[in-house]
Structure formats: C-alpha cells, structure tokens
Amino acid sequence: MSEIARIYGKTVTLTQRTVRGLERDGLIVAITHGRTRLLQLNPRWYGLAALRKLLQTMASAQPELYAPAESVRARPRRSGKPM
C-alpha cells in the first residue's frame, strides 16, 4: 500500500480507503504474502477488458507516473545487504 501511495504522492490512509472501495466493488483483488498485500485487477470481474483499455488510455496521458512506478524495486535483495 505504501508503494502505491508513494507512486501517486498520496497518503497511505487515502490509498487504503481507495483500495478498499475498489475491492468492495470487485474491480481489484488482494493476495496477502506475509505482511504484504499484492493488488491486481480482478481477472473475474465482468468489465475487466474495458477497464484495462481505459487504464491504458489514462496511463498514456500521464507519463509523469512512469518514473516513480519504474523506480519500485522488484528484484531480490540478499538479507543483510546495506540499502
């Protein structure tokens, strides 16, 4: 959640509230791994294809979001290694 908040420059509380609403409406789902919640579009939601298209259109209009999204580290880090 904090990663998403950082990308969008919003508070974690606001992000949590937004995510909760999207989950309630069935647009996204969360899978918990330890203390991390992995969010994804709900593959079972009836409007998935249209939503994906809309999001792609919106993303292409907001290139300023690319840099913070791409800066999120996805590769592994050995434990004990300094940040």
* DSSP state for residue 63 in the 8-state scheme: G
Judged by CB under 8 A, the residue of 11, 12, 13, 26 near other proteins is 26
Judged by CB under 8 A, the residue of 12, 25, 58, 59 near other proteins is 25
Q: Which of 1, 2, 4 is nearest to 69 (CA)?
A: 4
CB of 53 to other proteins, least distance (A): 11
Binding mask 34-53 vs other proteins (x if CB under 8 A, - otherwise)? ---------xx-xxxx----
| Cβ(48)–Cβ(55) below 8 Å | no
